Amino acid sequence: MYRKEIRVLDCTIRDGGLINKWQFSHDMVRRCFLALHLAGIDYMELGYRASASMFSPKEYGPWRFTTDEDVRRIVEDTQTAMKLGVMVDIGRVEPDDLAPVAESPLKFIRVATYIKDIDKAIWLANHCREKGYETFINIMAISTVGVFELDEALKQVEAETQVTAVNIVDSNGALFSESVHHLVHMFHTHLKTKAIGMHAHNNQQLGFANTIEAIRKGANYLDATIAGIGRGAGNCPMELLVGFLRNPKYSLEPILQVIEDVFVKLREEIEWGYLIPYMITGILNEHPRTAIEVRNDPVNCDKYAAFYRRLTTPEVCPPKSVPGGA
């Protein structure tokens, strides 16, 4: 379990914000930052960087945009070895929305991409690298990607970027350990100069198990969130991962304390975690948007069999029109 190359990345604010449009208070984010700092976590992803012309600040909270000034307010005078960064989506950020790293409290940028946009992701990652940031590429919805497409994309990322790591992202929560094993092996085959990361969702209660499998097969960059918070079924829980690693540089107690102080009450306000509709979209390898929709419907939120019929017999039960999303 102890491997000096392992790095833990927290995406509590970024992924958790998908539930409530990033309407987290300054105090809540500050508490998370301090807990992760005390726990010795290596990276903290403080939401997204996005253009205000694409998302209304009246509708979305500050962590959809995560300005450098927001980050400075969170850190205050705390000296931390933990690297702070944000995620950027293809087409949702302007290149000039990022200052050079020397002028920013951020140290890393993660580029989220679907396989069809890998060329754009490579360009954006290289642009961020030129500005001095450590960079990563997250390949989303990987359970829907064909082997040939993935082979070609990985070869291209290896040849054309200097990213630190490329993440396997199980957006649909559809993967089993055998698939994780296969994917990590494929990534190792093509990525000779990059590390491999794992971002697991918990639709089938396998987020933690699949992260362990990725570790066993050589993934060293591991995503997790405090109390497993995240859109829908959530993610690999940070407290489980830190407890498993038993690495002396990580401390479990600060994570448990912030769960007690912040997340117990937060669970009364917003919903996340394993629920049957998310399980259904996971086993069907579908995006969780339809499960999110039904959970927000007080009449149908617990009509599991009807929801399953709707997804598996669309000619009988046509789905409602739902908005898109990553």
Reading the block at residue 309, the tokens are 């019929």
Please give the torsion angle defined by the CA atoms of residues 186, 124, 70 and 107, in that order, rounded to the nearest 10 degrees: 60
| Phi (first) and psi of residue 165, to 5 degrees | -150, 160
Q: pLDDT tens for residues 207-256?
A: 999 999 999 999 999 999 999 999 999 999 999 999 999 899 999 999 99
pLDDT band with cut points at 50, 70 and 90 for residue 317:
low
The answer on pLDDT for 321 being more than 70 is no
- Could you tell me the sign of the dihedral formed by the alpha carbons of 138, 230, 88, 243, in that order? negative
Quick one: what percent of the chain has pLDDT higher than 70?
A: 96
- How far is residue 184 CA from its own chain's centroid? 18
Q: pLDDT tens for residues 36-82?
A: 999 999 999 999 999 888 888 889 999 999 999 999 999 999 999 99
Q: Which 8-state DSSP code applies to residue 318? A: P
Mean of pLDDT values over 182-210: 98
Q: pLDDT tens for residues 69-124?
A: 999 999 999 999 999 999 999 989 988 899 999 999 999 999 999 999 999 999 99
Q: Cα(74)–Cα(307) distance, rounded to whole angstroms?
A: 41
pLDDT mean across residues, the chain: 95
| Phi (first) and psi of residue 173, to 5 degrees | 60, 40
Task: Give SS3 for 148.
Answer: helix
pLDDT band with cut points at 50, 70 and 90 for residue 2:
confident
C-alpha separations of 185 from 67, 140, 319 in Å: 37, 18, 37
The answer on pLDDT for 323 being more than 70 is no
Q: In the block, which residue shows the tokens 């993440």?
A: 167
Q: State the DSSP string of 34-85.
A: HHHHHHT-SEEEEEE---TTTS-TTTS-GGGT--HHHHHHHHTT---SSEEE
Residues 6+ positions from 65 with CB-CB distance below 8 Å:
47, 48, 49, 50, 52, 55, 57
The answer on pLDDT for 325 being more than 60 is no
Reading the block at residue 218, the tokens are 């050589």
Task: Give SS3 for 183.
Answer: helix
The CB density around residue 78, as the number of other CB atoms within 10 Å, is 11
Q: Cα(52)–Cα(60) distance, rounded to whole angstroms?
A: 10
Mean of pLDDT values over 268-292: 97
Contact 63, 93 (CB under 8 A): no
Helices of type H across the chain: 12-20, 26-39, 68-75, 118-130, 147-160, 177-190, 207-216, 238-245, 253-258, 264-269, 276-283, 289-295, 304-312
Task: Give SS3 for 131.
Answer: coil
* Domains parsed from the chain with CATH numbers: 7-269 (3.20.20.70), 276-312 (no CATH)
Contact 44, 83 (CB under 8 A): yes
Q: Cα(141)–Cα(217) distance, rounded to whole angstroms?
A: 20
